[in-house]
Structure 1
Amino acid sequence: MSVAVLDVRDVRIHFGGVTALDGISLTVDPGEICGLIGPNGAGKTTLFNCITRIYRPDAGTIRFGGADLLAVPRHRIVRHGVARTFQNLALFPSLSVLENTVVGAHVRRGRHRALRAEALGILAALDLADVAHRPAQGLPFGTLKRVELARALAAHPRLLLLDEPAGGLTHAEVRDLGALIKRIRDRYELSALLVEHHMGLVMGICDHVVAMDSGRKIADGPPQDVQRDETVAAAYLGRAAA
């Protein structure tokens, strides 16, 4: 059996008297797109921040390709093969799309000309070649979302963490995004962990889904099974009614 790309076991973290993650466990297999869902405040982004070492868990283990990710210095996480996007865009507005993409390759050694050529290839794969030399500032929001994705790919990740990539997109853009994520998975032979509220996107592209509520895992399985789970429905409805 192949080793899971990501193996999170019994991770716990507290902020003061608040338990943000309460023994969460999940795995992401090679080539898999895993969806991470749950109401606001469930702990999804906190888990991302633990995986990328923005936070250090109080307990538990996080293994990446069999290696102890918690033993890796924070600044080497990307070089180890984990890249992410953010809920709020974290681009350099005055830099060109190409320059923003090359920034993602800063953890890798190589000649600047070669990195630029590779970045141009990534932009072409993401249908961004026509805006490569335009400043990020002023471009449509959906385009900027793809630029951030291009920057993450420039780091050559084996695991891509996508934090609400469909947020703020139109229905047509969400549909195109789903196709793009699957195309990226296949082209770059990577795995993805996706935090998303857009259930149509989750159901359409994820191989399996993990549902969270109040820092705990409440369901884990095929997308259709998780969607029908009564505990998952109660978590969403209960939070919406509160």
Structure 2
Amino acid sequence: MTGKPDSALCLSAEAVSVRFGSLKALDTVDLVLNRGEILGLIGPNGSGKTTLINAITGQVPLASGRVLCDGEDISALPPRERALRGILRSFQTVRLFRDLTVSENIEVAVVAKGGSRREAQKIAQPLIEEFGLGEKCDELAAALNYGDERRVEIARALAAEPKYLLLDEPAAGMNEEESEGLLSILKTLPERRGLGIIIIDHDMPLIMRLCSRLQAIASGKTIATGSVNEVRHAPAVIEAYLGSDAGELLHA
């Protein structure tokens, strides 16, 4: 895929810049996420990946540029309104309701959109099974291990029936078996649910197996975009990752 939208059904950032005081965290970054694809957003620590997700979802204001969802300019909308338009995300730090059960944590996404408790339970149950949480559905979130917390967070986002799902380091803290299980679920979602996914992760083997396209960012600017092979061999990407463990994996 080229990354160029062939219809209005895409999520896009156009020349997006973000400033924190005198620091330009993002500098005229473009991004396109089409329905039905998984885009990997990669780059060294501090490159601006999470800031770009925050800009798209409305957590940080734009200094310039705009964000569009299915052709609609949503740059001025608050995060809740963007979520209601189908843009859901996870965070680097899991944000579950620790005093609610696993089931309740997933159901709350449906209720927040105006659904009934019965509807919420109907939507949540297959997600609980899909993410292997059946034996823990009545446990409090506070009792979960980190891998289970991650799965609940993603299942909760899917319960809101997103058009676009933005995942910030979803495999962080997972062991190899848990990462493999997550990969097997994520890679089928775009086709089964007709959604687009952006994933940020430092697990390069997972990224390279999961994504149809990559976009690399360094120092707040896009330095490469294209297929996995195109981006992993781009000179600017090799230079950005030079000497890092992630770089060694990316260019192995």
Equivalent residue in structure 2 for 1:104, among 109, 128, 148? 109
Which residue among 108, 115, 118 is the counterpart of 2:120? 115
TM-score, length-scaled by structure 2: 0.91
* Pairing 1:7-156 to 2, within 5 Å after superposition: 7-156=12-161
SS at match of 1:151: helix
1:157 aligns with 2:159: no
CA–CA distance in structure 2, aligned partners of residues 122 and 69 of structure 1: 29
**Identity over the aligned pairs, expressed in percent?**
38
Work out the CA distance in 2 between the residues paired with 1:204 and 1:77.
Answer: 29
- Report if the CA contact (8 A) 1:36-1:209 is conserved: yes
Structure 1: which amino acid aligns with 2:59?
Answer: I
* Alignment RMSD: 1.5
Structure 2: 5+ residue runs without aligned partners?
1-5, 246-252
Paired residues of 1:4 and 1:28 also in contact (CA < 8 A): no
Deviation (angstroms), 1:4: 4.6
Count of residues paired in the alignment: 240
Q: Matches of residues 172-183 of structure 1 in structure 2 within 5 Å? A: 172-183=177-188
1:145 is paired with a residue whose SS is: helix
Name which of 168, 187, 190 aligns with 1:185: 190
Deviation digits for residues 49-97 of structure 1 (CA, Å, limit 9, x no counterpart)? 1111111111001111111121333321111101001111101122100
* C-alpha contact 2:111 2:117 (8 A) present in aligned 1: no
Contact kept, 8 Å, 1:85 with 1:148, in 2: the verdict is yes
Where 1:109 maps in the other structure, the secondary structure is coil
Query: Which residues of structure 1 form unaligned runs of 5+?
Result: none
Separation (CA, whole Å) in 2 of partners of 1:86 and 1:152: 11
Match of 1:233? 238
Residue 167 of structure 1, CA deviation? 1.0
Residue 2 of structure 1 and its aligned partner are, at CA, apart by 2.3
Q: Decide which moves more: 126-135 or 151-160.
A: 126-135
Q: 1:222 aligns with which of 218, 227, 231?
A: 227
The Cα shift of 1:10 comes to: 0.6
8 Å Cα contact 1:206-1:223 kept in structure 2: yes
- Scaled by the length of structure 1, the TM-score of the pair is 0.94
The answer to whether the 8 A contact 2:110-2:116 is kept is no
